[in-house]
């Protein structure tokens, strides 16, 4: 990917924080964090992710995220949840109609960033980190690019469905 910033696109899974720690040993990486609404739990998670990454950027600080990418930082984004904002797009994810975020697609487009799907699964007593080749997000429309991202996420989930966080809200009727 040359000198382009990298957006590592992942899913919420049981090994997500270990994935961040492992990537952090290979490259300087920042991570997006959505506060949980529990100060004590947030402090524990932020402390752990802060040790594993260059920095943790709140999902509520879009300017900090854009500055990081503009400065060439690599960023991990778990972008597999539904989106209720005005920029969400109707899409099919895991065979169900829902609304999905186009943020990752818009950031890649704006900053010419490479999007590399990445996931980690537990295999017995070991863990396997997989960094996939960059996605071709030039499908002619954001909706087509979100569909490409969804297919990459679905393929990652299919490798170890029991390790995926099924409890997150993922589906909402787009109407």
Higher local confidence (pLDDT), 113 or 97: 113
pLDDT 10s digits, 144-172: 999 999 999 999 999 999 999 887 666 66
- The DSSP secondary structure of the chain, one letter per residue, reads -TTS-EEEEE--BTTHHHHHHHHHHHS-EEEEE---S-HHHHHHHHHHHHHHSSEEEETT-HHHHHHHHHTT-EEEEE--SB--STT-EEEEETTEEEEE--HHHHHHHHHT-EEEEEEEEEETTEEEEEEPPPP---SSSHHHHHHHHHHHHHHHHHH-GGGB-TTS-------
For residue 86, the model assigns a pLDDT of 66
Higher local confidence (pLDDT), 2 or 63: 63
Residue 75's pLDDT band (cuts 50, 70, 90): very high
Residue 51's pLDDT band (cuts 50, 70, 90): confident
């Amino acid at each position: 990917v040359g000198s382009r910033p990298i957006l590592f696109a992942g899913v919420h899974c049981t090994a997500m924080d270990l994935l961040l720690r492992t990537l952090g040993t290979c490259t300087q990486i920042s991570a997006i964090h959505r506060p949980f609404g529990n100060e004590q739990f947030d402090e524990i998670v932020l402390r752990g992710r802060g040790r594993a990454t260059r920095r943790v950027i709140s999902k509520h600080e879009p300017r900090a995220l854009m500055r990081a990418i503009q400065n060439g930082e690599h960023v991990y984004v778990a972008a597999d949840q539904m989106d209720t904002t005005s920029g969400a797009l109707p899409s099919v994810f895991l065979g169900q109609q829902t609304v999905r975020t186009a943020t990752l697609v818009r950031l890649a487009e704006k900053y010419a960033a490479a999007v590399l799907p990445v996931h980690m699964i537990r295999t017995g007593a070991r863990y396997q980190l997989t960094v996939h080749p960059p996605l071709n997000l030039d499908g002619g429309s954001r909706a087509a690019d979100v569909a490409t991202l969804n297919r990459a996420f679905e393929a990652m989930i299919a490798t170890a469905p029991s390790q995926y966080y099924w409890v997150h809200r993922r589906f909402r009727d787009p109407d």
